[in-house]
């Protein structure tokens, strides 16, 4: 059985590290980077240049999976072909697609052209370099930062940037830059319960971050954004750097006559995470429109991507042995939001569907524990 795994994000890497060598199983992992990126920690790399990658080769030892460092250009499910950017075409018996998501700019004029993203390591490097550059003595111009989107990524990013600005301000005798957090919705962090959300908001306010909820970003230029309030009032916010974290959409790379797509371009899958109409194709992670026990879409989070990847890896082994694939049963273990340093807020799942709210240093430890669990699962 010739198997291709596309992408070494949380989902794809979880598949690859669950594999074991079998005589009739030939498995190839196709990934453009030679490393795995902890995307949930990119905000730390953006502010502090924290290391957030691991080389892939050591992780694949003993799995029987070979690494092909290449970029996927297109996937044709009807022809069972994967086209690479260098022109090569790969074929397969079984395919796993875990190519993740791209930033959704919602066709806001000028946003894609003028805003930075935070989706990969190069994005974090670019933001880190900007922060250092504006604290140089010879820098002239606006130093302020506008971050669009007050979900998990946006909030974690602004807190780390605020900490970095405070540190550089003390070191170099320059005032910290201003950070504007723009959110079209009525509140930040809608994924959290109200008490935790208010705790997080208070922390942001203590950092001096200008929180603009109910402000829709209407337009971006090289040095400003235009926002509009619910009553139609518009204002221009000058900025030296614009960063957009306000949405994602599935990578539009998979074609097939029977492919069904849902919200955000995610591909509909069956109970075993196989693309509907294509029993030899597993779609996992951000690209997958998997449903939970209530029939609602599973969130596009790292923990769910890891769950889907681990199950798919096990199912590939079952199929190679002539066994049936098992169904996916998602579970949310908790959700924690880093607020800079040793501060975090969040909740963890307890028996009987109860939630335990946690704040402060203990929440920070719990967030780190989720990363430790992930590292242990792929070692």
- 319 domain-assigned: yes
Summarize the confidence of residues 44-53 as an average pLDDT. 96
Torsion of CA 299, 127, 111, 229, to 10 degrees: 80
pTM (whole model) above 0.75? yes
114 part of a folded domain: no
Structure tokens at 305: 């991507």
The DSSP code for 231 is T
Lookup result for tokens 């980077």:
33
Per-residue pLDDT at 356: 93
Domain that residue 345 falls in: 333-378
Mean pLDDT of 52-62: 96
Instruction: Tell me the pLDDT tens digit for each residue of 69-92.
Output: 999 999 999 999 999 999 999 999
Assess whether 162 and 187 both reside in one domain.
Answer: yes
Q: What is the mean pLDDT of residues 153-176?
A: 96
User: Do residues 141 and 230 share a domain?
Assistant: yes
Q: Span 254-260, mean pLDDT? A: 98
Residue 65 sits in a domain whose CATH number is 3.50.50.100
Tell which of 246, 276, 303 closes a domain. 246
Phi, psi of 196 (to 5 degrees): -70, -40
pLDDT digits (tens, 9 = 90+) for 91-106: 999 999 999 999 999 9
Q: Mean pLDDT over all residues of the chain? A: 96
Give the three-class secondary structure for 119. Answer: coil
pLDDT at 352: 81
- Average confidence (pLDDT) over 34-61: 96
pLDDT at 351 over 90: no
Rounded Cα gap, residues 236 and 293, in angstroms: 45
307 shares its domain with 368: no
Task: Write the pLDDT tens digit of every residue in 266-285.
Answer: 999 999 999 999 999 999 99
Among residues 28, 16, 4, 26, the alpha carbon closest in space to that of 60 is found at: 16
d(C-alpha 130, C-alpha 132), whole Å: 5
Asked whether the predicted pLDDT for residue 48 surpasses 90, the reply is yes
Same domain, 358 and 260: no
Looking at the fold, whether 172 and 222 belong to one and the same domain comes out as yes
CB 246 within 8 A of CB 106: yes
User: Quick check: 305 pLDDT over 90?
Assistant: yes
pLDDT of residue 342 exceeding 90: no
Task: Give residues with Cβ within 8 angstroms of 241, minimum separation 6.
Answer: 116, 127, 130, 144, 145, 146
Q: How many domains does the chain have?
A: 3
Tens-digit pLDDT profile for residues 215-249: 999 999 999 999 999 899 999 999 999 999 999 99
**Same domain? 55 vs 12:** yes
Q: What is the mean pLDDT of residues 308-316?
A: 97
User: Which token pair is 50?
Assistant: 């924290």
Label residue 379 by pLDDT band (50, 70, 90).
confident
Number of H helices, E strands in the chain: 9, 25
Mean pLDDT for 194-211 is 96
Residue 113: inside a domain, yes or no?
no
CATH assignment at residue 168: 3.50.50.60
Whether residue 327 is predicted with pLDDT greater than 90 in this model: the reply is yes
Cα-to-chain-centroid distance, residue 60? 22
Rg of the chain, C-alpha, whole Å: 22
| pLDDT at 24 > cutoff 90 | no
Q: Answer yes or no: is 112 within a domain.
A: no
CA nearest neighbour of 157 among 52, 79, 254, 47: 47
Residue 209 lies in a domain: yes
């Amino acid at each position: 059985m010739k198997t291709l795994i596309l992408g070494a994000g949380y989902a794809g890497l979880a598949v690859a590290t669950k594999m074991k060598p079998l005589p009739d199983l030939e498995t190839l992992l196709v990934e453009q980077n030679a490393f795995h990126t902890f995307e949930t920690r990119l905000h730390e790399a953006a502010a502090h240049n924290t290391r957030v990658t691991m080389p892939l080769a050591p992780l694949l030892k003993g799995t029987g999976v070979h690494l092909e460092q290449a970029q996927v250009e297109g996937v044709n499910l009807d022809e069972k072909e994967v086209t690479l950017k260098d022109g090569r075409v790969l074929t397969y018996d079984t395919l796993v697609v875990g190519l993740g998501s791209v930033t959704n700019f919602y066709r806001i004029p000028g946003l894609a052209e003028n805003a930075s993203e935070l989706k990969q390591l190069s994005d974090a490097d670019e933001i880190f370099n900007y922060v250092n550059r504006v604290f140089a003595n010879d820098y002239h111009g606006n130093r302020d930062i506008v971050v669009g989107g007050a979900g998990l990524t946006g909030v974690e990013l602004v807190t780390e940037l605020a900490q970095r600005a405070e540190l550089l301000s003390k070191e170099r005798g320059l005032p910290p830059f201003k950070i504007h957090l723009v959110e079209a919705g009525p509140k930040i962090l809608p994924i959290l319960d109200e008490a935790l959300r208010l705790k997080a908001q208070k922390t942001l306010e203590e950092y001096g971050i200008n929180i603009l909820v109910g402000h829709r970003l209407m337009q971006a230029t090289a040095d400003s954004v235009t926002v509009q309030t619910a009553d139609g009032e518009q204002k221009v916010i000058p900025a030296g750097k614009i960063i957009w974290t306000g949405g994602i959409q599935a990578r539009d790379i998979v074609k097939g006559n029977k492919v069904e797509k849902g919200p955000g371009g995610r591909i509909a899958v069956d109970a075993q995470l196989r693309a509907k109409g294509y029993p030899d194709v597993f779609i996992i992670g951000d690209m997958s429109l998997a449903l939970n026990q209530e029939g609602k879409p599973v969130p596009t989070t790292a923990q769910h991507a890891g769950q889907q990847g681990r199950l798919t890896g096990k199912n590939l082994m079952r199929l190679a042995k002539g066994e049936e694939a098992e169904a996916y049963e998602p579970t949310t273990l908790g959700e924690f939001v880093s607020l800079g340093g040793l501060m975090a807020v969040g909740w963890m799942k307890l028996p009987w569907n109860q939630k335990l709210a946690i704040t402060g240093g203990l929440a920070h430890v719990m967030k780190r524990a989720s990363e430790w669990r992930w590292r242990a699962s792929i070692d």
